[in-house]
Amino acid sequence: MLAAERQQKIVEIVNERLSIRVSELSKIFSVTEETIRRDLEKLEKEHKLKRSHGGAISIREETEIDVSEREITNVEEKKAIAQEAIKHIESGDRIILDASTTAWYLAKTLPDIPLTVITNSIKVAVELSKKGKIQVISTGGMLLPKSLSYVGPLAERSLDAYHVDKVFLSCKGVHLANGLSESNEWQALLKKRMMEIADKIILMADSSKFGIRTFVHMASLADMDHIITDDQIDHETKWELEEQNLSFTVVAPLSLKA
């Protein structure tokens, strides 16, 4: 197979799958990983795909929903989940907040107590900057404009120096058999690193996330120390969470509380 033909097929595969790793492309085309890397470098320069950490991402992939849209989706559920999450935070804790809108609502309602907070979210950092007792550490990295969050190898490496008590995060999908998933590979990789440096992992996922399986696997449900969701979650899902001996809390949206 000629190089040009192989590169065209690489673009087709990336656009079909949205994301793929170098090692897999190497096996598909029976060439070395170095050859694939050169192909990807050339294709990126031609604006036919984007290289990612260990692979490539389709330029057709519009997986990052604009933060302004996410802020008006399931608002009361996210606020109730955030309020419940605060109960798991103690003065002096070192925590991580991801770039989810639920984490932003948590940051908005978090009391001004002595804490150290690491985040990859510009909005979370700005919100916490208003609270004098909270020390804020930003990961830095490559900015994703739609989510106003930092991702990429630099963001991942910035976490290497830290160890935290708790990480509070969300995701695009929560599947009872396949676990947590993200539609953006960079977000998934960074959240995996966040979980690795935390003693306790708390998942904040509104009921709309359950039963969803998106492109990039992030973690198994068994990795979660606690799950917080809202009361629109169906009975079958609650039963399955109980069957898997998972710790979880179901909260009512704030507008429905007396």
- In whole angstroms, what is the distance from residue 161 CA to residue 4 CA? 43
Largest CA distance in the chain: 69
What does the pLDDT look like over 53-70, one tens digit per residue? Answer: 678 877 764 455 555 555
Distance between CA atoms of 158 and 147, rounded to whole angstroms? Answer: 19
Distances from the Cα of 203 to the Cα of 28, 76, 130, 196, 256, angstroms: 36, 17, 25, 14, 22
The string of pLDDT tens digits covering residues 195-248 is 999 999 999 999 888 988 787 899 999 999 999 999 989 898 999 999 999 999
Query: Which percentage of the chain shows pLDDT scores above 90?
Result: 67
CA 42-48-49 angle, to 5 degrees, is: 85
> Tens digits of per-residue pLDDT, 99-114?
999 999 999 999 999 9
User: Helix 22-29 to helix 3-17 angle, to the nearest 10 degrees?
Assistant: 130
* pLDDT on residue 185: 86
Q: Where are the domains of the chain?
A: 3-57, 67-256
What is the tens place of the pLDDT at every residue in 35-50? 999 999 999 998 888 8
Domain 67-256 part of CATH 3.40.50.1360: yes
Output the average pLDDT for the chain.
Answer: 90
pLDDT bin (cut points 50, 70, 90) of residue 16 is confident
If one counts every other C-beta atom within 10 angstroms of the C-beta of residue 242, the result is 10
> Comparing C-alpha atoms, which of 66, 71, 113, 88 is closest to residue 251?
88
CATH of domain 3-57: 1.10.10.10
What does the pLDDT read at residue 179? 95
Confidence at residue 258, expressed as pLDDT on a 0 to 100 scale:
42
pLDDT attached to residue 198: 98
Task: Give me the residue label for tokens 């990480």.
Answer: 167
Do residues 159 and 94 lie in contact, with contact meaning Cβ atoms separated by under 8 Å? no
Give the residue, 98 or 67, on which the prediction is more confident: 98
Residue 256 has pLDDT above 60, yes or no: no
- At 174, the pLDDT band (50, 70, 90 cuts) reads very high
Exposure on the CB side of residue 117, measured as CA atoms within 13 A: 34
- Give the residue carrying structure tokens 């001004």: 112
